[in-house]
Amino acid sequence: MKANNVDKENGNGKGNSVKERFSNSFTARKKEPNFLLSVFVTSIRLFVIALLVIGFACFGALLGVAKAYVDGTPALDIQRIEDQNLTSFIYDKNGELITEYKGLEHRIWAPLEEIPKMIQDALIATEDVRFYAHNGLDYKRLAGAFINNLRSESVQGGSTITQQLIKNTMLSPEQTYKRKIQEAYLAIQLEQEYEKEEILEAYLNTIYLGSGNYGVKAAALNYFGKDLKDLNLRECATLIGITKNPYKYDPRLNFYKRKTPEVTYARTNLVLRLMYENGFITKEQYEEARFNDKFPASTKNEGFVVLEESSHQKLYDYPYFVEYAIEDLIGELMELYGWEGSDGRKKAINLIQTGGLHIYTTLDPEIQKIVEDTIYNYDKYPKTKNSKDSVLRQKQGDRVLDIPQPQAAAVVLDHQTGELRAIVGGRLEPQERFWQNRANLPWAPGSSIKPLAVYAPFIEAGYPGGIIVDDIPVPIKGWDDGGGKGYPSNYSTSKFYGPITTKVAIQHSYNMSAARTLLERVGVEYSMNKLKELGITEPNYVEKGLPSDLALGSDPVNMIEMTAAYGALANKGVYKEPISILKVIDKDGKVLLDNKSQLTLTVFKESTTYILTEYLKNAVANGTGDRALFKNMSIAGKTGTNSDFHGVFFAGYTPYYTATVVIAHDRHSVSLEKDATGGKFAAPLWKAFMEKIHEGLENKPFYDEVPSGVKSVKICAISGKLPTKECDKTTTELFPSDAVPKEECDMHQKITVCAFSGKLPTPYCPEESKVDKSVVVLPKDSIYQQLKDDQLEKVLPGAFRSLDDLEDYDYNDPKYKEAFCPLHNEQWHKGEQQRQELTQAANQLIALVTDNMTRYASYLTQQEANTLNKAVDKLKKALEAEVLQPPKEDDPYYTELPVFQPDKVMAEINNLQQTYNSIFDAEFWDRVNGDNGGNDDNNGNNGNDNSAGSLWWNGGGRGR
């Protein structure tokens, strides 16, 4: 591509650049006989050089060294000069160009005809005044430099333009005698094969001129905004002045950043003086061009303007993704060519920046844009615990910036292909290249690790120990929290949930269950192996296998790796290595890299990921991840919250994409606001971009049908085994078909209990309160046996440690007190007897009253009848209130019964008696007797009834 540009720029009659002639003549001379001959000839010459050089030293020894150095010299490779100026191109997944890519170097090749004579002269006058006279080496300067440097390791000065060209383009930069001799050897070779003009052209197009500029054309544009032909003498001298020390003499740095323009002025003036002294310019030209002593006030300096802004600093689109892809590609190239270490890395970078590659990435520009916009503009980030932590002063490139905290990052993956679709590495849009990309950094995933390291392996292994996991405060074998209690706390500390299904443990993200399942069921080794297969590389996880990492995600994991691991859950158990590069075409149109080597590995059976996905769907729909939910899409995922609110995480997937988000302070140990959980903050951010990404995508289930390896089985909710008729709590759960429970529940038994207390009936429990009930009886080796009584009562209310000796239970033995109904005791029994007596008496009174009311209805006024009825009703109500029913199913048992309080009943009896007496008084009976004449029977009866009631009442009162 770049070659075309060169031809275009050079595109008049001549039509072929020095470059091409370099290559052509080099190819022609590649034939071996010529080459050997040339080596021979130059070797002879080198002996002559060596003779001169070592005239002051031990002749024989140095001769041998020089010979050895020459033998190790790389072949003269003009290709390496030519290759330096090819721009690469980066494309998105649709093949649309995102950007040209030139690395930080800017090179534009200009043929010598285009380079002003003033520049050529300035260079020769300053660097190599005998350039046109020597044969590649300037023996006079070389000898002088050698003496000067005799006592030091480094060698400098004395180099001709030819030597510098060799040094800049073909050899490693260290300054040793070995390299120096090799450089001299190659310089002589170069001079033999090329014209002086060709060497000069190559030099002026490859020399480094500061601020990333290689060659005078790029530098002229960058510093002055000018084409070469428009430069004046002063500008030419300034450019050449830079070569001696590109950093020190960088005019932009001197004018704007360091405010030391005098450094550039003095250097430019020196170049101009050398040009004048060597006869390249006249005295007038020299005087006209040089800077005055008193600049910059002098009007003479007008018209010399160094541009403040570099034209190179314009950034490409999607920098976070593009730069991740470049990083990815560096690794791929090093592998491809067997390059290693920092040297290999440099080679790879050089190839990307200058190799004219066409790099096709997996980036989806629509998705990338959505995620960028969301992360950059989101306004619901949590606060830091202390407001002073809400910004962090950080260096980014040349700038120092106040970075808002906490920071955030997100990754979106097409899990079916392993192709990364979007990467956003921070809340700020990058202002220059290679800003910190947090998406490619490790972050603590918190509980988001549980499905990967604990539960998927647990299901894959067939739920060893059963589907029920135990969330109880019993020390976990292998859990070392530094002399603590031997198990981790749940988020709501001090609460434990007893026997729970795997589904529920995930839904509420219980730490205790996860740690116990890892260490007592899954095993660290198996967990580590699965994580390795899922592409996790963090040593704490896959080498050390720290339980606090595998179960709770305490230490950081690379976020791209986390995303790809979740991608395997979404992709039915098949892990796809995450890739950002689809293919790379080299400058000749050949495929350099494609994705055929992408690692694909089946880590879990489809039945495992089906079941886990059901659990993770539930965790989003009903659990900690509910804020990730959006309409019309299947969603599975898991929150993560770090201890002390050190950051939040969410990892989740739809049938289309897998994505992760993190929100945390750049200093991981800084706390966010209280209650900053993954559910509260990471899940909604995940939803914010995923909902937009899925707009217009059809909703579909994760699986078209239940995989054949999955069975749905009804089990006892306590033991996890097949339910018997004694099991009072069952649940239907998913199993890999080879892990379906076959044994029947061994924890439930039926015994007779008191329906009010759920405990063994006492001799006082009423017969009608005795019912059959399922109770939990712990097997001898049950882990629950290790709980203290009060702990057991909390997680398994009413459980028995053993029923073996139930028949020996003696109500009168205090040892068994806890097993018996505490409600129906002797005190209750006495009260109950009293209640029965009172009830009997009250019923007798009611019978008397209602009987007489009926019999003598005609003697009663309506008002009197009403008054009596009211008093009867109130007494009946008082009696009813004292009768207690057993608790309904699912209601808790009574822990105490109201002790019978006779006062209320007695008060109502009293009231009824008095009401009766005041209405059926003597006057009443006179009236009745008057009407009935000699009906003694009635009179007598009434009188007797009346007095009997009174007598009873007085007796009852006393009895109390």
- Chain residues in the site for Zn ion (CB under 5 A): 716, 719, 727, 745, 748, 754, 756, 765, 821, 823-824
Which residue number, 167 or 824, has a Cβ lying nearer to Zn ion?
824
Write down the least CB distance from residue 773 to Zn ion, Å: 12
Minimal distance, residue 765 CB to Zn ion, in Å: 3
Cα–Cα distance between 557 and 554 in angstroms, integer? 9
CB within 8 Å of 247: residues ≥ 6 apart? 210, 253
CB neighbour class for 509 (10 Å; exposed up to 12, middle 13-18, buried from 19): buried
Quote the CA–CA distance of 23 and 244 in Å, as a whole number. 28
As measured in angstroms, the least distance from the Cβ of 825 to Zn ion is 9
Cβ proximity to Zn ion: between 518 and 745 the closer is 745
Nearest approach, Cβ of residue 826 and Zn ion (Å): 12
Give the nearest distance from C-beta 714 to Zn ion in angstroms.
Answer: 11
Q: In angstroms, what is the minimal distance from the CB of 767 to Zn ion?
A: 11
DSSP label of 430: P
Q: Which of 285, 310, 298 shows the shortest CA–CA distance to 234?
A: 285
Which residue's CB is nearer to Zn ion, number 18 or number 718? 718
Rg of the Cα atoms in the chain: 47
Q: Is the Cβ of residue 86 or residue 754 nearer to Zn ion in the bound state?
A: 754
Q: How far apart are CA 285 and CA 232, in angstroms?
A: 11
Which pair of tokens denotes residue 702? Answer: 């994760």
CB of 285 or CB of 825, closer to Zn ion? 825
The rounded distance, in Å, linking the Cα atoms of 574 and 559 is: 19
- Alpha-carbon distance 796 to 475, whole Å? 18
Give 702's Cβ-side CA count (13 Å radius).
30
Contact (CB, 8 A) for 897 and 823: yes
Nearer to Zn ion, 164 or 757 (CB): 757
Nearer Cβ to Zn ion, position 332 or 726? 726
d(C-alpha 625, C-alpha 635), whole Å: 10
Q: For Zn ion, which is the closer residue by CB, 552 or 760? A: 760
Amino acid found at 818? E
**What's the min distance (Å) between Cβ of 501 and Zn ion?**
13
What is the spatial distance between Cα 223 and Cα 251, in angstroms, rounded to a whole number? 8
- In the complex with Zn ion, the residue whose CB is nearer, 647 or 761, is 761
- When the beta carbons of 5 and 825 are compared against Zn ion, the nearer one is 825
Centre a 10 Å sphere on the Cβ of residue 780 and count the other Cβ atoms it contains.
Answer: 8
Place of tokens 């390795």: 532
Task: List for the chain the helix, strand, coil content (%; round to 5).
Answer: 50, 15, 35
CB of 496 to Zn ion, least distance (A): 20
Instruction: Find the shortest distance in angstroms from Cβ 895 to Zn ion.
Output: 12
- Pull the structure tokens for residue 307: 């541009």
Our CB check for Zn ion shows the closer of 612 and 745 to be: 745
Query: Judging by DSSP bridges, how do beta strands 399-404 and 391-396 pair with one another?
Result: antiparallel
Task: Determine the distance from the C-alpha atom of residue 430 to the mean position of all C-alpha atoms in its chain, rounded to a whole number.
Answer: 20
Our CB check for Zn ion shows the closer of 836 and 866 to be: 836
Amino acid letter, 420: L
Nearest to 415 by CA among 566, 299, 314: 566
CB of 456 to Zn ion, least distance (A): 27
Euclidean distance between CA atoms 48 and 382, whole angstroms: 75
CB of 853 to Zn ion, least distance (A): 40
In angstroms, the first-to-last Cα distance of the chain is 113
Least separation in angstroms between residue 473's CB and Zn ion is: 23
